[in-house]
Every structure is written in C-alpha cells, then in structure tokens.
Amino acid sequence: NTNKSISAFKKSIELLPGGVNSPVRAFKSVGGNPLFIDRAKGATVWDIDGNSYLDFVASWGPMILGHAREEIVEAIQKAAEKGTSYGAPTLAENEMAELIISMVPSVEKVRMVNSGTEATMSALRLARGFTGKDKVVKFAGCFHGHADSFLIKAGSGAMTLSLPDSPGVTKAAAADTLTAEYNDLASVEALFNEFGSEIAAVIVEPVPGNMGVVLPKPGFLEGLRELTNRHKALLIFDEVITGFRLAPGGAQERLGVMPDLTTMGKIIGGGLPVGAYGGRKEIMDLLAPSGPVYQAGTLSGNPLAMAAGSRMLQILNDNPSIYKDLERKAARLEEGLNEQLKKSGTAGVINRIGSMMTLFFTELPEVNGFNDAMTSDTERYARHFNASLDKGFYFAPSAFECTF
C-alpha cells in the first residue's frame, strides 16, 4: 500500500528534530535540513544556492585527486560510450585487478564488489569458508560497514556511538561476533583463550579512521598477526579508508604488517561505487569458479566503475609525489589548526598519520568563536560531513587544488 507507506514515512521523518523536508538524507546535526550539492571541482564543492565550500574530507575519502579530475571524467565518458555489460569481465576489470595486486603488497588475487561494506562481508564469509570456523573478532569502535554483524558495537565516534543492540542485527550474527578493545592485545588473547578453536578471523581497521584516526600502539598489529597465526585464524585488514591513502599500498605498506585478506573501497572507485577484497592466492582460490565459495554480484566489476577506478589507481601508482604533497598539506593544516587552538584558548587534540587527521575538541567550543574564518555556512558544511563525530572534525584532504 504505497499511500500508507508514504504517510508512515512522512510521519517518521517529522519526528526528527528540526523537521525534514526532503525524501533523502538529512542530518540532525544541520538541523535536519539537507544541504544539496550541485557540483564539485578540485577541492571545492558548490551547493544549489551557489555557496562554495572547501572539501576537507575529500567526500569522506574517495576523492583523493579532487573532484572532476579530467582524466577520470574522460575515462568514464569513454567507457559509457562503449556501452556497459555485466557478467563477464572486461579488460578494464583485469587492468584494475593487476594494478591493485601490484600496489597492495599482500594481495595476490582480488575480487571486485560495489562497496566497502560488501568487501568486508565477502572477506568474512571467505574466512569462514577457508577456516571452517564461525566466530569473528572485531574491535569496538572500528567500523566495517552497515551490514548486520558489523553494526555490533560498530561505533563511529570514539567517545559516543556504540551500537550493541542495533536494530536489524540477527541473534546469529551477534553470537558469532566477539568484541575486543583496539590497542589492547590482552583483550584479543582472552577471546582466543576462550573461543580459540571457533575463531575464523580477526578484522581490524589498521588505523581506525572511524574512531578518529587512532594510531596503533607499537607491536599491536604485529601481535594480532602472531595471535592469528598461532590460532590458525585469518587476519583481515579493513583498508577501506587507509587503502591508497596512507601509501600507494595502504596501511600495510606504511606500517609493514601483512594481513591474509584486505578489504578496499572509497578511493579505489575513482568516485564511482567500487569495493574490492583480496589476499593470499591460496585463500582467494576458494572462491567459485575455482573453489566452492560462491560470490558474484550483478554489477560487480562494471566497466564504468572499472574505468574510473583503474584510471585513479594508475595516476596514484605513477605519481608517488602525490603522497608527499598530501602529507605536506595535512602537516600544514595540522600546524594551522594548532595555532588556532592556541590563539582561541580552545582545548583540543589532533591525531594524524599521513593525510588522515582528526581534531577532537576536549571541550566543545562555540565554533564561530573558535575561528572567525569559520563562517556558519562552513560550520554547517563541516558538520554535515562529520555528523558521526560528535566532538570532532575528520580531515582527509585531496591532492588537487587545495588552497593552502
């Protein structure tokens, strides 16, 4: 009954503080009013009223080369003109796979999917298939997507959200998901001591962006590697945020610890929806058609997304100076923010590795008083994209046209 469901939907959105006048996403943090983006170029986006904003989060990560980069736009246009077909791989998918394998050190074989969530779900299922075990250890506050078990204590902000009783999580998923504390090896060891023979995998964000760029303590990731080896469980790095950002080969290249499986998303699609997961050949060979674990998606590896993604990866692979440039910009931003914190007497902490950075306010300031240059529109924009970090701002600048 369409009328009934529409009126139920309207009723439900009226309950949001601030009211919502739109059928699409609208964050409470901006008063429930959506901010509609009209276009974007380089590091700038424009809303439908013509206001322009500097995009300091690169659209939550993917647009590391800035918006509407000519080579990528052209690659998408050409692919669209050739027509899209699904089901059998194209050369663009092959090219993309070869690039991923050459860039990400532990990946010997790879599969394309359509999002980071799908990549992590698929990697977990493969880990269960490979080990013949069911349980998965995840860390409170690490976010792996919006699916079922990932919502268990998924969290998105270090201080606030954890979702132990999130609606839509099945009892089975909850029973199979064990939660440990990030940077606390003892909590993982305790789970292995209790459930060792049942644990298929440990999944971790090597640098948890969603908790506010928490740095792994020295020895933590190495300890996870050792524990998983000892208990014949797989170590999965969720590199959806860190992949292609902390280095061309992601956190594993930068930090020197190799997982069994890696999940990827965001940057990998060149701005279109792509996820991927890959790892040791021995494990990946378990996937159909070479093995019994079924995984296939109607739109996976679609030529448009592969064209955008492989162009993006090619540019990153061929231009290591991009990473130096990003690092310099992030360091400059950190310096400027620190100056502003000091000048305004605001208590805050900055976490940064490479070009991933979060500023946490230890006391929430009046933002207009925090920095005169932060107009209310800018504040509204920043909050729109940082809705999940209650007291913090996440930054992931792009390498293109930044004005500082």
Does position 117 bind ligand PLP by CB under 6 A? Answer: yes
Query: Does residue 240 interact with ligand PLP by CB under 6 A?
Result: yes
Query: Residue 388 corresponds to which tokens in the numbers above?
Result: 């999940």
The three-class DSSP label of residue 28 is: helix
Is the previous residue joined to 289 through a cis bond, with omega within 30 degrees of 0? yes
Q: Considering beta carbons, is residue 203 or 341 the nearer one to ligand PLP?
A: 203
145 binds ligand PLP, rule: CB under 6 A = yes
Q: Which residue is nearest to ligand PLP (CB)?
A: 116
Q: Element (H or E) spanning 192, and its range?
A: helix 185-195
Q: Which of 239, 218, 262, 253 is nearest to 323 (CA)?
A: 253
Q: Which of 116, 279, 301, 348 binds ligand PLP (CB under 6 A)?
A: 116
Instruction: Please report how close the Cβ of residue 162 comes to ligand PLP at its closest, in angstroms.
Output: 16
Report the SS3 class of residue 50: coil
Residue with Cβ nearer ligand PLP (55 or 341):
55
User: Given the rule CB under 6 A, which of 4-12, 88-96, 111-119, 164-172 is the region that contacts ligand PLP?
Assistant: 111-119
CA 318 to chain centre: 23
Return the structure tokens found at 310. 């492989």
Radius of gyration of the chain (CA): 21
Using the minimum distance from each CB to ligand PLP, give the nearer residue, 278 or 367: 278
* DSSP H/E element including 172: helix 171-176
Residues 16-45 that bind ligand PLP (CB under 6 A): none
Q: Pull the structure tokens for residue 385.
A: 């994209």
| CA distances to 41, 107, 195 from 225, in Å | 41, 16, 17
Looking at the Cβ atoms of 65 and 267, the one nearer to ligand PLP is: 267
Tell me: does residue 398 bind ligand PLP (CB under 6 A).
Answer: no
Binding to ligand PLP in span 267-306, by CB under 6 A: 275
Q: Which position among 122, 177, 179, 210 is part of the footprint of ligand PLP (CB under 6 A)?
A: 210
Residues of the shown chain interacting with ligand PLP in the complex, contacts defined by CB under 6 A: 115-117, 120, 143-145, 205, 209-210, 238, 240-241, 265, 275
